[in-house]
Structure 1
């Protein structure tokens, strides 16, 4: 068997998954009983798995999620108003395909950011592009970009992702530029992309945060009415775990 030439050619072609599968099969005495088509099928499957893993790793690097969270590790036992059925429906990703949004509100420490990152991680696994941004830092970055000519490029980057996570929105009222930035972000994503917004402020008070009634109506009409809501309550999970 021409192990080395075959492996070299596979690697030259960038088929590293098939090369690894080839080595695994060659080292397994039971593989001699396989038909050629079965060998080929296993090699192709190994290549597909490796490429899928690399794409996932690239998406998670680009997403820059704040927490290494996953839906499999979500705590449904601690009472905090988390609807298990709703969250598992969100984990399916259908709402992202439908360009809907998800709003997660609740007191500090109830796990809003962690849940948002868990949904972001699952979206990465489902081949969606994701980007996590803390709201205050995003507005600061946009202000800097406006001054040095990068504003249009940064807005295009935000518009391109399938799922944009805006974490810790509020509670301070938005300045005039921030209101306009948020309107542009929401408008760019209308019927083309999804948002996750987390906030300590109840949704009913978001009009106060936007400040300008006209812009508040334009922004929130595009977000709130097409959104799933997770409204958490209770004590901080960090406090509960520290006292356990």
Structure 2
């Protein structure tokens, strides 16, 4: 049911034409063709989810995270987050660090891992998301669709959260559609509600004080092939 017969048939013919498979029975070739077609379908779905998410770092990977001491993260902990079922267990995860600490990379890596697990993901910078919500208000249908899309996605990644202020309309939309947060919001009551919704029972990752952006630049400058 997960495959179109033509995909299996095409792969079946390719395997039959390959002399390396002469020792395989027709049944073995058929099973191999089915497995290959299923894997290709899975890869296509993952690629589609990653493109739809809008990650600024689409190559980010849990395997490439720098786990140096004082970053507050370990491979075991990140694998646990990477395998998390965001759909069955909706969870707020707060990632904090000074500028350059690697928050965006880590958020993208976790989001991409979620895509590999079949989850729908939306990545957005806070100011961009607020702008989209305000613009969409001019069209009732588009506005409701955007709110529905945000509410129904398995994992919503909001980067640069409240590093800039947003207006009351955007604050209201965010409160209606997701989990939110703090004083830059124009309505203090809404701000308090947003803080409670986001922070209550939220898991937290504090990446410490290491400036990964500066560290990477220094490492690049130390490379024999570096020039400027």
TM over 0.5: yes
| Counterpart-to-counterpart distance in 1, 2:158 and 2:8 | 36
Question: Which of 181, 184, 202 is 1:227 aligned to?
Answer: 202
Task: In structure 2, list runs of 5 or more residues that go unmatched.
Answer: 220-228
CA 1:183 to 1:152, structure 2 compared with 1: closer, same or farther past 3 Å? same
CA 1:113 to 1:96, structure 2 compared with 1: closer, same or farther past 3 Å? farther
Question: Which of 209, 214, 218 is 1:239 aligned to?
Answer: 214
| Counterpart-to-counterpart distance in 1, 2:45 and 2:28 | 26
Partner of 1:97 in structure 2? 88
| Counterpart-to-counterpart distance in 1, 2:168 and 2:35 | 53
> What's the TM-score once normalised by structure 1's chain length?
0.79
Over residues 61-85 of structure 1, what are the superposed CA-to-partner deviations in whole Å (9 max), with x where a residue is unaligned? 1111111211111111264233443
| Counterpart-to-counterpart distance in 1, 2:50 and 2:126 | 19
* Contact 1:76 1:84 (C-alpha < 8 Å) held by counterparts: yes
CA 1:95 to 1:63, structure 2 compared with 1: closer, same or farther past 3 Å? closer
Partner of 1:130 in structure 2? 121
Task: Map 1:185-196 onto structure 2 (within 5 A).
Answer: 185-186=177-178
Task: Map 1:21-32 onto structure 2 (within 5 A).
Answer: 21-29=12-20, 31-32=21-22
| Counterpart-to-counterpart distance in 2, 1:21 and 1:75 | 42
Aligned-residue Cα RMSD (Å) equals 2.2
Partner of 1:9 in structure 2? none
* Residue 183 (1) aligns with residue 175 (2): yes
Partner of 1:168 in structure 2? 160
Task: In structure 1, list runs of 5 or more residues that go unmatched.
Answer: 1-12, 188-196, 198-205
Give the number of equivalent residue pairs: 214
| Counterpart-to-counterpart distance in 2, 1:158 and 1:175 | 18
Question: Which of 145, 158, 165 is 2:136 aligned to?
Answer: 145
Over residues 34-54 of structure 1, what are the superposed CA-to-partner deviations in whole Å (9 max), with x where a residue is unaligned? 223212111110110111111
* Contact 2:122 2:153 (C-alpha < 8 Å) held by counterparts: yes
Partner of 1:37 in structure 2? 27
Which structure has more helix as a fraction of its residues?
A: 1
* Residue 159 (1) aligns with residue 134 (2): no
Runs of 4+ in 1 over 4 A off after TM superposition: none
1:95 to partner: Cα distance: 4.8
1:147 to partner: Cα distance: 1.8
Partner of 2:51 in structure 1? 61
| Counterpart-to-counterpart distance in 2, 1:78 and 1:133 | 29
